[in-house]
Amino acid sequence: MLKLILRRLAQMMLIMVAVSLILFGVFDSPKFKRQLAVNELGGFAVQTLSPADYQAWLERKGLNVPFAERYWKWLTGIARGDFGRSFQKSADVGPLLGRALLNTGKLALCVFVIMIPLALVTGVMAGIREGSFQDRSISFLAVLFTSIPEIATAIFLTVIFALWLGWFPAKSRGDGLEFLVLPALTLVLYDFGYVARLTRASVAEVMQSQYVRTAILKGLPYRRVVIRHVLRNALIAPFTVIVLQLNWILSGVVVVEVFFQYNGFGKLLLDAALFGDLYVVQAATLAAVLVAVLSQLISDIGYVLLNPRIRFG
Amino acid sequence: MSAIAEPLPSPPVPVLARLARPRFALALLLLIWVPLVAYVMFGRELGPYRSYVLIPAIPAALLLYAVAARTWRESTIAVAGLTLVFFWILLAVSAPYLPLLDPNKPVAPFVTPFTERNGIFFWLGTDMRGRDLLARTIWGCQRVLVWGITATAAAYLVGTMLGLIAGYRGGWRDEVVSFVGNVLLSFPVMVLFILILNYLGQSGFNIVIAVTFSSAPAIMRIVRGLALDVKSRDYIHAAQVRGERPLRIMLVELLPNVRGPLIVDACLRLGYTTVAITTLTFLGLGLQPPDPDWGLMIKEASTTALVFKFSYMLVVPALSVSSLILGFNLMADGLREMSLRD
C-alpha cells in the first residue's frame, strides 16, 4: 500500500515536471512573447516598435533570460511559495489563483452535494429492477442528459429560468447562492447521467450474483438484501468514479464559467492563456494536474480499501 | 424421370443484406466523406466543379443509412441514433442544392421564427444581423460534421497505431508511448486545446491537430488494452509461426478482431469531438467567422440576445448540437447493447 502511494507520488512529480517544461517551452517561443507584447502594448504599438525597443521591453519584463535560467528561477520561486506575477492583471499569481480556485471550489461543492445523491439513488433504482419500465426510463434520461453538452444545457437553463421565469440571474457576476444555481445545475445535469449509468451497471451485475440469489432465497427481506448485500458491493465502482469527477469538473468548468461569466478557475485559465500570461497558465495548469493526479490516487486507494479482495493482490 | 431431386432454390437474399459488409460500408462512408472534405477544405481549388462534388454523396448517404438501419434493426436505440445522425449528414451533404438563403447575407434583423417578412417565410427566424438562421444552421452542420469526422479519424489513426505498437510490441516502446500518453492525459482537456490552438493559430486544420493530441492518448489506452488481451490468442501465435511481419499481424490479424469495442468508442468520440469543436468556437478559439458554425452562432447570440423573445437564436444551435450528439450516443449505446447480447 505504502509502496503504491510512493510510486504514484513519484510518477506524479515526473508528470508535473514534464507538463511544466512543455508549458515553459511553448510560452518561451518568440511567437508567444510577441502575442504578450501585442496584448500589453496594443498591436499598432508593437508594429512601430524598433527591434532594439522590443528587446528592451523583453528585458524589462524579464523574458529575455535564457530558457533554463528562467525555468530554474521559477522552480525555486515555487519552493518559496512565489508563483510569479501576472502580466495581465499586475498581481501576484498565488492570491489570484487562490481566489479563483475558491470560487470554483464553491461551485464544485454545490455540484457534488446535488449530484452524488441524485446519481446514486437513480442508479440504484434502475439497477435493482433491470429491464423494467423504471430502469428503462431512468437509463433513457441518463443518456439524454449526458448527450446534451454543457453549453447547450447552460443555454436551456438560462432561457427557461433566467430569461423566461426570471428566477435566477443570467450572468453569475457576484457572490451569493442565487448566482451559483444555474452553473451548478448545468454541471449536475451533464454529469449525473454518467455516474447514474455506472451505478446502474454495477448494481445490476451484483443483483445477478449467486450470493444475492441465496440471500433472497433464504428469505431475507428484500430491503435488507439490497442495503446490506447489494449496495456494499455495488457502490465500490461508483465511488471511485465520483472522485475522478472532480478532475473532470476542473476542465468542464471552463465553458460554464465563461458562459455565465463566473469568476472561477476556468475563466482565469482561459483569459490567461489567450493573453499569453505565462505564470498564471503555468500555476493553474499545475493545480489542475495536481488535482487530477491526486484524485486518481485517492480513487485507487479508496478502491483498495473498499474492496477486500484486492487488498493483498 | 431422374432420381436426383432438383436442388432446392436457396432463399433470395435481400439486396440490402448482401450489401451489409464492412468493406462496402467503408466505401460508402468514404464516398460521403471525401466529397465533403473536398467541398469544405479545398473548395477554392475545385473551381467550377465545386457545385458538382457533393452530388454522389447524396445517394451514398441514403444507401448507407438503409444498409445500416437494416443491419442494426434489432436495436431500436441504435436505429434511432442512426436516424438522427443521418438526418444531419443528409442536410450537410445536400446543403448546396437546397433552396436556402445565403447564410452570410443580412436580410432583416430580429425576425422571430415562423413569421413572414419582405415576402420571405423564415422558419427559424433571423439573427441580430439579419442572417437566416435555417441556412446558418444547415451550413454550420456541414462544417461541424466535416471537421468533427476528420479530427476523430485523425485521432483514431494515430491512437490506434500507437496503441497497437505499445500493446503488441511491448517493451521500451510501450514505456515511452504510455508515458507520453499519461503526460498528455493529465493536462485538463481544455488547457491542451487552448495551448495548441493558441500556438499553432486558429483554423480547422489546427483543430484536427488539437483533437488528435487530446483524444489519441485515450484511444491508445483502449487499443493497448485490447491488444494485450488478444495478443496471446492462438491465431496470433499461428501468424507468428507462419513468419508474418509484426506490422501485418497488428493490422490484419489483431485490429479486425478488436473492432467491436472500437466502433462503439468511435461513436462516443465523434460526439465528444463535435462538442469540443462547438465549444472551442464558442470560446473564440476555433473556426473563424463569418462562416456559419453552431459555436459561433451561440457566441454571437449570447452577448446580444439575452431577452426571452430573442432566445431562439441561442436555442436553435443548442438544440442542433444536442440532437447530433444524442444521435452519436444512442448509436454507441445500441451497438454496445447488441454486442453484449451475442
The CATH number of the domain holding residue A124 is 1.10.3720.10
**Higher local confidence (pLDDT), B184 or B287:** B184
Assigned domain for A131 exists = yes
Per-residue confidence band for A251, with pLDDT thresholds at 50, 70 and 90: confident
Predicted confidence (pLDDT) at residue B291 exceeds the cutoff of 80? no
Predicted confidence (pLDDT) at residue A53 exceeds the cutoff of 60? yes
Dihedral of alpha carbons B318, A175, A263, A76, sign: negative
Set of chain B residues whose Cβ sits within 8 Å of the Cβ of A269: 190-191, 194
Task: For A281, name the nearest residue in chain B, comparing CA atoms only.
Answer: B191
**Higher local confidence (pLDDT), A98 or B289:** A98
Set of chain B residues whose Cβ sits within 8 Å of the Cβ of A164: 308, 311
pLDDT at residue B154 in the model: 95
CB distance B276 to B193 below 8 Å: yes
> What's the rounded mean pLDDT across residues A26-48?
76
Set of chain A residues whose Cβ sits within 8 Å of the Cβ of B319: 152
Strand B120-122 relative to strand B115-117: parallel, antiparallel, unpaired? antiparallel
For A15, the closest of B186, B278, B306 (CB atoms) is: B186
Cβ separation A155–B318 shorter than 8 A: yes
Residues A143 and A111 occupy one common structural domain: yes
Least confident of B11-15, B133-137, B221-225, B314-318: B11-15
List Cα–Cα distances, A221 to A205, A216, A254, B173, in angstroms: 20, 7, 47, 55
Assigned domain for A294 exists = no
pLDDT at residue A176 in the model: 74
Per-residue confidence band for B133, with pLDDT thresholds at 50, 70 and 90: confident
Residues A164 and A258 occupy one common structural domain: yes
Residues A22 and A128 occupy one common structural domain: no
Query: Grid coordinates in use for B263?
Result: 466502433
Residues A138 and A272 occupy one common structural domain: yes
Cβ separation A143–B194 shorter than 8 A: no
Q: Please enumerate residues of B whose Cβ is less than 8 A from a Cβ of A.
A: 182-183, 186-191, 194-195, 198-199, 271, 275, 278-279, 282-285, 295, 298, 302, 306-308, 311, 314-315, 318-319, 321-322, 325-326, 328-330, 333
Assigned domain for A269 exists = yes
Cβ separation B183–A19 shorter than 8 A: yes
Per-residue confidence band for A313, with pLDDT thresholds at 50, 70 and 90: very low
Encode pLDDT of B231-262 as tens digits.
Answer: 888 888 999 999 889 889 888 888 888 888 89
| Of A54, A79, A104, the domain-final residue | A79
Predicted confidence (pLDDT) at residue B317 exceeds the cutoff of 70? yes
| Of A79, A105, A133, the domain-final residue | A79
Residues A43 and A102 occupy one common structural domain: no
Least confident of A112-121, A270-279, B64-73, B328-337: A270-279
Assigned domain for A153 exists = yes
Assigned domain for A197 exists = yes
Set of chain B residues whose Cβ sits within 8 Å of the Cβ of A247: 188
Cβ separation B329–A147 shorter than 8 A: yes
Query: Burial code of B200-211, b = ≥16 C-beta within 10 A, e = fewer?
Result: eebebebbbbbb
Residue B28 buriedness (CB in 10 A; 0-12 / 13-18 / 19+):
buried
Q: Which of A153, A93, A95, A104 is nearest to A257 (CA)?
A: A104
Per-residue confidence band for B311, with pLDDT thresholds at 50, 70 and 90: confident
What is the rounded distance in angstroms from the CA atom of residue B107 to the CA atom of residue B130?
Answer: 5
Predicted confidence (pLDDT) at residue A185 exceeds the cutoff of 80? yes
The four Cα atoms B194, B197, B198, B203 give a dihedral, to 10 degrees, of -140
Residues A7 and A149 occupy one common structural domain: no
What is the rounded distance in angstroms from the CA atom of residue B229 to the CA atom of residue A233?
Answer: 26
Residues A146 and A241 occupy one common structural domain: yes
Which residues make Cβ contacts (< 8 Å) with residue A4, sequence separation at least 6?
Answer: A300, A301, A304
Set of chain A residues whose Cβ sits within 8 Å of the Cβ of B195: 23, 26, 273, 281
> What's the rounded mean pLDDT across residues B140-164?
93
Assigned domain for A207 exists = yes
Residues A130 and A99 occupy one common structural domain: yes
Which residues make Cβ contacts (< 8 Å) with residue B221, sequence separation at least 6?
Answer: B163, B181, B185
Cβ separation A148–B322 shorter than 8 A: yes
pLDDT at residue A312 in the model: 47
CB distance B120 to B107 below 8 Å: yes
Encode pLDDT of A269-312 as tens digits.
Answer: 888 888 878 788 888 888 888 888 888 888 878 877 777 666 54
Dmax over Cα atoms in chain B, in whole Å?
88
Assigned domain for A140 exists = yes
> What's the rounded mean pLDDT across residues B155-159?
94
Encode pLDDT of B258-274 as tens digits.
Answer: 888 898 899 999 998 99
DSSP track, B230-265: HTTSHHHHHHHHHT--HHHIIIIIIGGGGHHHHHHH
> What's the rounded mean pLDDT across residues A61-81?
80
Assigned domain for A287 exists = no
CB distance A295 to A243 below 8 Å: yes
Least Cα separation, residue A198 to chain B (angstroms)? 13
Which residues make Cβ contacts (< 8 Å) with residue B186, sequence separation at least 6?
Answer: A15, A19, A289, A292, A293
Residue A94 buriedness (CB in 10 A; 0-12 / 13-18 / 19+):
middle
> How many structural domains comprise chain A?
2
Per-residue confidence band for B79, with pLDDT thresholds at 50, 70 and 90: very high
DSSP track, B33-63: HHHHHHHHHSHHHHGGGHHHHTTTHHHHHHH
**Higher local confidence (pLDDT), A46 or B1:** A46
| Of A79, A109, A124, the domain-final residue | A79
pLDDT > 70 fraction of chain B, expressed in percent and rounded? 95
Residues A176 and A241 occupy one common structural domain: yes
Residues A18 and A60 occupy one common structural domain: yes
Predicted confidence (pLDDT) at residue B321 exceeds the cutoff of 90? yes
Per-residue confidence band for B92, with pLDDT thresholds at 50, 70 and 90: very high
pLDDT at residue B122 in the model: 79
Cβ separation B302–A259 shorter than 8 A: yes
ipTM here: 0.85
Domain membership of residue A26 as a residue range:
2-79
Cβ separation B275–A151 shorter than 8 A: yes
Least confident of A147-151, B299-303, B328-332: B299-303
Task: List the single best residue of B184, B302, B324 to mutate versus A (max A Cβ within 10 A).
Answer: B302
Residues A188 and A249 occupy one common structural domain: yes
Task: For A190, name the nearest residue in chain B, comparing CA atoms only.
Answer: B322
Per-residue confidence band for B342, with pLDDT thresholds at 50, 70 and 90: low
The secondary structure element, H or E, covering residue B115 is strand B115-117
Residues A98 and A27 occupy one common structural domain: no
Cβ separation A147–B326 shorter than 8 A: yes
Predicted confidence (pLDDT) at residue A261 exceeds the cutoff of 80? yes
Residue length, chain B? 342
B171: left (phi over 0), alpha (psi -120 to 50) or beta: left
